[in-house]
């Protein structure tokens, strides 16, 4: 027997329809690529997205065709998202921080037909143009007054919208229709495409709108620092219009002073992004003795936040750092470190340690730990294992995988590639990426834990720990440090700093100082490049 309820397909166009109907006057504020801060509303964004749908239909874009974006967080970028998805096309977000060869591979692999780009990336796309034959048109997200001299295959966004009708029909297709395409950063092998459906995006949005995730409501003002091209923008481009939050989009300026200006001028209550952004903001606030008068919470993911950064925002500015964990393959939010009644009864020190974890699973997400043989491991907070997840917004297989290619285990769980513990309260702590963890004498050493401790040292700007070959122990940790400008230090300063904070056999065998540490496409330290750089390094004999 079936239930007798309406069949209402979960397609993301309904999110912006809802925002227009019930939060139409709520502001969407953008710092534009051209410079000025401009203001629109969800009602205006909705109308312009529908015009964009008609532009795409005029280009001959059909359901399932890939429409790419190479753009910062702006209202125009959101208009492309909804304009493409609303007619059943696939919005493919390109990450401009990838190498040119990776971008060429991704564009060709996706068979993108149109690319919408900000002025910032026009020179890059012109260089790539001869190598991306599927791309028929490039549309520059600006007006005719700001556009550079266009080539024959380049069009101006505002001119196209002005000539288009606002009457477009959205939806009317199955909720399992593809909606978005986002490629992994290619840390191992070629980037892989994650093809989201309308249903998966909608369910992910519902999952992260509950109070135990970001605790957002229509009363909040959200500054979306996490790029819309990074892991589905953490879903904020769906959550904010769905809830009616005022949305602030920072464009290309993500430096400390620019972020601080928007936080204060727009009275932001919540923001989210990777740790490097908040470390820049913290440095700016300390240097200028700045204040955070309305901000309540910063959602952080992509990498673990050093303890010292969490304490600084809490103690100096009264702002909560809320750890989250996820990945492109899970849409991306999987866990958030919000407390439970059980953890709220712990001591203040214990609660702080819980807050440093990556948190517990969101609604509709399941997780387990397994050993190398695939056997389940206990959730005792001590046992390390491979973190496996499943749910309605977790990838089943990658774009263009063969239908027979298996990416899930026998229970339907996806291997995240992370090594973690899960405690009895259900809180996940990511210990390392499986490829980064150090296996010394049959025991595991967490590079992340050592890095976080070292980052608390006042002379350190960045730190990385990698495994180096060792004749006796197989692998031992090497600590690599970038000092703050003007600072000097010796190896023993940091070994002494770590004494008593880690077990003796975790102590790095050597410390190396470098001028810089490479960052990857998502703002995290790129250990793949570091391992290549130190491939021939020999640890000192003990």
- Range list of H helices, 473-518: 491-498
Q: At what angle do helices 42-58 and 75-86 cross, to 10 degrees?
A: 50
* E strand residue ranges, 283-342: 297-300, 320-326, 333-336
| pLDDT given at position 366 | 98
Contact 357, 376 (CB under 8 A): no
Nearest of 47, 39, 22, 107 to residue 74 by alpha carbon: 39
Residue 431: the pLDDT is 86
Q: Which residues contact 136 (CB under 8 A, 6 or more apart)?
A: 59, 113, 114, 153
pLDDT of residue 284: 97
Rg (CA), the chain: 24
User: Known catalytic residues?
Assistant: 184, 329, 439, 444
Q: What is the mean pLDDT of each run of 10 residues along the chain (542 residues)?
A: 96 98 98 96 98 98 98 98 98 93 96 97 96 97 85 92 96 98 78 97 97 97 96 96 98 97 98 92 96 98 85 97 96 96 93 94 97 96 95 97 94 95 95 84 85 92 92 89 95 94 91 93 84 90 64
Angle between helices 75-86 and 13-23 (to 10 degrees): 120
Provide DSSP, 98-137: S-HHHHHHHHHHHT-SEEEE-GGGHHHHHHHGGG-TT--E
Please give the domain boundaries of the chain with CATH numbers for all domains. 13-422 (3.40.50.12780), 436-533 (3.30.300.30)
Contact 260, 278 (CB under 8 A): no
Tokens of 43: 């009602």
Residue 437 CB neighbours (<10 A): 18
Look at residues 197, 195, 160 and name the one whose alpha carbon lies nearest to residue 80.
160
Instruction: Report d(CA 119, CA 482) in Å as an integer.
Output: 33
Q: Alpha-carbon distance 230 to 112, whole Å?
A: 18
Would you state the pLDDT for residue 530?
A: 93
Other Cβ atoms less than 10 A from the Cβ of 317: the count is: 17
Residue 286: predicted pLDDT:
96
What is the reported pLDDT for 434?
81
**Angle between helical axes of 447-454 and 491-498 (0-180°, round to 10):** 110
φ, ψ of residue 196 to 5 degrees: the values are -80, 150
Terminal CA-to-CA distance of the chain, rounded, Å?
Answer: 72
Q: Where would I find the H helices in 189-306?
A: 198-208, 236-243, 256-265, 275-288
Q: What pLDDT is stored for residue 238 in this prediction?
A: 98
The strands making up 460-470's β-sheet, listed across from edge to edge, are 460-470, 474-483, 510-513
What pLDDT does 186 receive?
Answer: 58
Measured between alpha carbons, how far is 217 from 214 in angstroms, rounded to an integer? Answer: 9
Contact 376, 409 (CB under 8 A): no
Which pTM was predicted? 0.88
Length of the chain: 542
């Amino acid at each position: 027997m079936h239930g007798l309820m309406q069949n209402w397909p979960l397609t993301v166009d309904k999110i912006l329809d809802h925002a227009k109907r019930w939060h139409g006057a709520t502001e969407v504020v953008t710092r534009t690529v051209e410079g000025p801060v401009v203001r629109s509303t969800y009602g205006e964004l909705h109308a312009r997205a529908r015009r964009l749908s008609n532009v795409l239909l005029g280009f001959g874009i059909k359901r399932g065709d890939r429409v790419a974006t190479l753009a910062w967080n702006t209202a125009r970028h959101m208009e492309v998202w909804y304009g493409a998805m609303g007619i059943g096309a696939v919005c493919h977000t390109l990450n401009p921080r990838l190498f040119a060869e990776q971008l060429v591979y991704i564009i060709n692999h996706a068979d993108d037909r149109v690319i919408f780009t900000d002025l910032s990336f026009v020179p890059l796309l012109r260089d790539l143009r001869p190598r991306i034959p599927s791309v028929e048109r490039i549309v520059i997200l600006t007006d005719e007054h700001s556009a550079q001299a266009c080539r024959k295959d380049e069009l101006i966004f505002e001119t196209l919208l002005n000539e288009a009708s606002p009457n477009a029909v959205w939806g009317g297709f199955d909720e399992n229709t593809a909606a978005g395409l986002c490629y992994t950063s290619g840390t191992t092998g070629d980037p892989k495409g994650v093809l989201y459906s309308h249903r998966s995006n909608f369910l992910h949005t519902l999952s992260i709108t509950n109070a135990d995730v970001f605790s957002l409501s229509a009363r909040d003002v959200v500054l979306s620092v996490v790029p819309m091209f990074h892991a589905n923008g953490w879903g904020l481009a769906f959550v904010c219009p769905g809830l009616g939050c005022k949305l602030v989009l920072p464009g290309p300026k993500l430096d400390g002073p620019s972020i601080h200006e928007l936080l204060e001028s727009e009275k932001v209550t919540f923001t989210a992004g990777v740790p490097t952004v908040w470390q820049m903001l913290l440095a700016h606030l300390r240097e200028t003795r700045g204040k955070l008068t309305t901000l309540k919470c910063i959602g952080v993911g992509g990498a673990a936040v050093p303890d010292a950064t969490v304490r600084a925002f809490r103690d100096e500015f009264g702002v909560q750092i809320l750890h989250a964990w996820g990945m492109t393959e899970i849409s991306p939010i999987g866990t958030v470190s919000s407390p439970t009644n059980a953890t709220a009864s712990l001591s203040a020190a214990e609660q702080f340690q819980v807050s440093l974890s990556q948190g517990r699973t969101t609604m509709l997400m399941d997780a387990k730990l397994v050993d190398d043989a695939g056997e389940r491991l206990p959730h005792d907070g001590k046992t390390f294992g491979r973190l496996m997840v499943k749910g309605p917004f977790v990838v089943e297989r990658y774009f263009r995988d063969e239908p027979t290619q298996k990416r899930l285990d026998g229970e339907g769980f996806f291997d995240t590639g992370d090594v973690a513990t899960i405690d009895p309260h259900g809180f996940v702590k990511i210990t390392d990426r499986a490829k980064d963890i150090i296996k010394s004498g049959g025991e595991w050493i967490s590079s992340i834990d050592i890095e976080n401790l070292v980052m608390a040292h006042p002379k350190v700007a960045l730190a990385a720990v990698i495994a180096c070959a060792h004749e006796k122990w197989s692998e031992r940790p090497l600590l690599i440090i970038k000092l703050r400008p003007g600072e000097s230090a010796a190896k023993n300063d940091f070994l002494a700093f770590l004494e008593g904070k880690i077990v003796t056999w975790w102590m790095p065998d050597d410390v190396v100082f470098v001028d810089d540490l490479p960052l990857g496409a998502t703002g995290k330290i790129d250990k793949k490049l570091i391992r290549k750089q130190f491939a021939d390094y020999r640890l000192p004999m003990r």
